[in-house]
């Protein structure tokens, strides 16, 4: 996993931020591959909770990156 995410603009993500993003992508890919109609209610709740947590983390990541960026002049 030495591949770095490519950005059109702005500063690159820190290794920790890139790992957080990669984990979110994996969770999303896993949820997309899952046949949600076949899951037991408890399993569906777990998938939803995992995605909800990742969404919260991604919103926090966006806040980190945008607040740390210099303001345009």
Where are the domains positioned within the chain? 15-32+39-67
Confidence class of residue 11 from pLDDT cuts 50, 70 and 90?
A: confident
Q: Which of 21-25, 34-38, 56-60 has the lowest mean pLDDT?
A: 34-38
Q: Is the pLDDT assigned to residue 30 strictly greater than 70?
A: yes
Q: What is the torsional sign of CA 29, 32, 33, 39?
A: positive
Model-level pTM? 0.72
User: Read out DSSP for 3-68?
Assistant: PPPP-SSSPPPPHHHHHHHHHHHHHHHHHHHS-GGGS-HHHHHHHHHHHHHHHHHHHHHHHHHHHH
Report how far residue 59's alpha carbon sits from residue 70's, in angstroms, rounded to the nearest whole number: 19
Q: Is the pLDDT assigned to residue 7 strictly greater than 60?
A: no
- Residue 21: how many other CB atoms lie within 10 Å: 16
């Amino acid at each position: 996993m030495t591949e770095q995410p490519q950005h059109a603009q702005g500063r690159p993500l820190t290794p920790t931020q890139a790992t957080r993003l990669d984990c979110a992508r994996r969770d999303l890919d896993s949820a997309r591959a899952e046949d949600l109609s076949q899951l037991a209610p408890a399993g569906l709740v777990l998938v939803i909770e995992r995605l909800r947590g990742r969404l919260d983390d991604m919103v926090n990541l966006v806040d980190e990156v945008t607040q740390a960026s210099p303001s345009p002049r």
